[in-house]
């Protein structure tokens, strides 16, 4: 069904012609977000053990099989609080003609802007195979998202998205016990943008109960 120009999808509904919203992506996307979260937790444990120094907004960058990774802790003290945290997971299908340096410049600008938003606890990014890209933001309150959407870097990234990606999906969720705990990410909703359609096709789906890696991720018959 449609709500204005945004299509309301049921939990397991795929729409032919819109691959960015295919339900088969649940499992691999959740795996990638779990990987990014585990990288973050490992980084903090290494800091607690005195193996590395972590301070606010210091980027840790490396490559895995020639693919770029970055993790930035924005609030090194607050991120250790065992409180419920919010997450945003971003996945984009990069246009093949786009060089990595172009996307990295936008990423760096976003990181610079995050210095002015204390609700942002961390920002992680990962280049994937087949021209996909993933980011994971951990923040304190759901309202933090509304605040950072107003900053110029985020607005620029949104404006550039149709040029950078063929399609985008954004997961909104939470983390019981925060980064300091051991719980998995729980997804409350997902939003989709298909830039190969004119005008842009937009959709949203809500999960109740939340979607997790341990929950059945395919529709089933009772």
pLDDT in tens, the chain (222 residues): 344 489 999 999 999 999 999 999 999 999 999 999 999 999 999 999 999 999 998 989 989 888 888 899 999 999 999 999 999 999 988 887 655 555 555 566 666 666 776 788 999 998 887 667 899 999 998 876 666 656 555 565 667 778 788 999 999 999 999 999 999 999 999 999 999 989 999 999 999 999 998 644 444 443
pLDDT at residue 178, rounded to an integer: 96
Which residue has tokens 């009772």?
Answer: 222
pLDDT at residue 40, rounded to an integer: 96
Q: Read out DSSP for 173-217?
A: EEETTTTTS-PPPEEEEEEEEETTSSSPEEEEEEEEEEE-SSS--
Give, in order, the Cα–Cα distances in Å from 201 to each of 4, 35, 83, 161, 162: 12, 29, 36, 13, 11
Tell me how far the alpha carbon of residue 99 is from its chain's centroid. Answer: 21
Burial class (CB in 10 A: 0-12, 13-18, 19+), 64: exposed
- Are the CB atoms for 72 and 111 separated by under 8 Å? yes
Which residue has tokens 């309301």?
Answer: 8
Question: What are the residues facing 122 on neighbouring strands?
Answer: 73, 138
Tokens, residue 117:
């938003």
* pTM for this entry: 0.85
Give, in order, the Cα–Cα distances in Å from 1 to each of 13, 15, 25, 205: 11, 12, 21, 11
* Phi, psi for 71 (deg, rounded to 5): -130, 130
């Amino acid at each position: 069904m449609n709500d204005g120009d945004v299509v309301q999808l049921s939990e397991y509904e795929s729409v032919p012609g819109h691959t960015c919203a295919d339900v088969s992506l649940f499992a691999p996307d959740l795996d990638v977000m779990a990987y990014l979260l585990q990288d973050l937790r490992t980084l903090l444990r290494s800091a607690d053990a005195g193996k590395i120094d972590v301070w606010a907004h210091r980027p840790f960058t490396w490559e895995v099989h020639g693919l770029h990774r970055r993790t930035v802790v924005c609030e090194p003290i607050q991120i250790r609080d065992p409180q419920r945290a919010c997450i945003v997971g971003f996945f984009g299908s990069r246009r093949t003609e786009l060089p990595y340096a172009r996307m990295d410049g936008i990423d760096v600008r976003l990181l610079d802007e995050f210095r002015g938003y204390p609700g942002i606890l961390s920002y992680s990014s990962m280049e994937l195979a087949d021209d996909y890209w993933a980011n994971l933001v951990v923040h304190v309150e759901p309202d933090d998202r509304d605040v950072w959407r107003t900053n110029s870097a985020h607005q620029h990234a949104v404006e550039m998205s149709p040029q950078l990606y063929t399609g985008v999906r954004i997961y909104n969720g939470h983390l019981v016990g925060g980064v300091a705990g051991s719980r998995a990410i729980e997804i409350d909703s997902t939003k989709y943008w298909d830039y190969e359609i004119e005008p842009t096709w937009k959709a949203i789906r809500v999960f109740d109960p939340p979607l997790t890696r341990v929950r059945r991720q395919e529709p089933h018959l009772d």
